[in-house]
A = this chain, B = another copy of it.
Amino acid sequence: MKNMLKKINVTIWNEFRHEKTNSAVKKLYPEGLHKAIADGISAEDLNIRLASLDEPEHGLTEDVVSSTDVLLWWGHCAHGEVKDEIVKRVHKRVLEGMGLIVLHSGHFSKIFKTLMGTSCSLKWREAGEKERLWNIEPSHPISQGIGEYFELPHTEMYGERFDIPQDGKIIFISWFEGGEVFRSGVALERGHGKLFYFSPGHETYSIYYDQNVLRVIGNAVRWANPLIYQAHTAPNAQPPEVIQGIPPAAQS
């Protein structure tokens, strides 16, 4: 019976630089934080691959992208190194239906900014303070299994104003010890694709070992898995109805 279930093809993309250059990060995520996420959300219905910046075509070849149902994106210090043609490829695929989960500092990635059309700016602070994520949509697929709130003892603060369009469904709003608030989990749609932005995740904290964080990411993957893929075209359409009284000049 198990084979009858179509697995979700998940690709976890990581910039994968901090893990090589910063010893604290290396110790925390020796194989990269994408590997930690992959291990953390591993399940029978998911077929998970890893990809990173320094691979050819950033590991996001036409074959990989076209066979990915849901893409996860973590980037930070090297957003500028991601080639525009790869961003274009991913963008096109999202609009056709592929799900996209953007994590933490990915708010400033080319792909997220391209999809949002806004600056995606926010406040930030690295003080290892406490964050409490309030679950304001307990009936949403992404927050299943999460209580009223969950806490991260030490996080980077991301604070409002977060410059994104207002059509996102807010799943989590965060409270920070230092006094800020943040829309930390936001679900959106663009074209035929579903997007989820989830802010926890600084590389120097053990965020991607947290069971609530992993639960949310796993839920988001299932939620973002597309029902259909459909290309966007701009057809010169035949009229379903008879058009009367067309002036000859207009029949160009």
Chain B residues lying within 8 Å of A163, measured Cβ to Cβ, are 95, 191, 232
A247 touches B191 (CB 8 A): no
Name the distance in Å between A234's Cβ and chain B's nearest Cβ. 4
The reply to whether A239 and B129 form a contact with Cβ atoms under 8 Å apart is yes
> Once bound together, how far apart are the Cα atoms of A157 and B132, in whole Å?
16
Complex interface residues of chain A between 156 and 204 (CB less than 8 A to chain B): 157, 159-163, 165-167, 169-170, 173-181, 183, 188-193, 204
**Which of the candidate stretches A29-37, A42-50, A210-218, A223-231 sits at the interface with the other chain?**
A223-231
CA distance in complex: A140, B240 (Å) = 24
Interchain CB contact under 8 A, B234 and A127? no
Question: When the two chains form their complex, are residues B174 and A181 in contact, meaning their CB atoms are under 8 A apart?
Answer: yes
B residues within 8 A CB of A139?
A: 97, 192-193, 226-228, 230
Contact of A175 among B115, B116, B138, B175 (CB under 8 A): B175
Contact (A251, B125) CB under 8 Å given A1-B1, A177-B244: no
Q: Complex: how many Å from CA A247 to CA B204?
A: 12
4 closest A-B pairs (Cβ-Cβ)? Answer: A128-B250, A178-B239, A167-B167, A179-B240
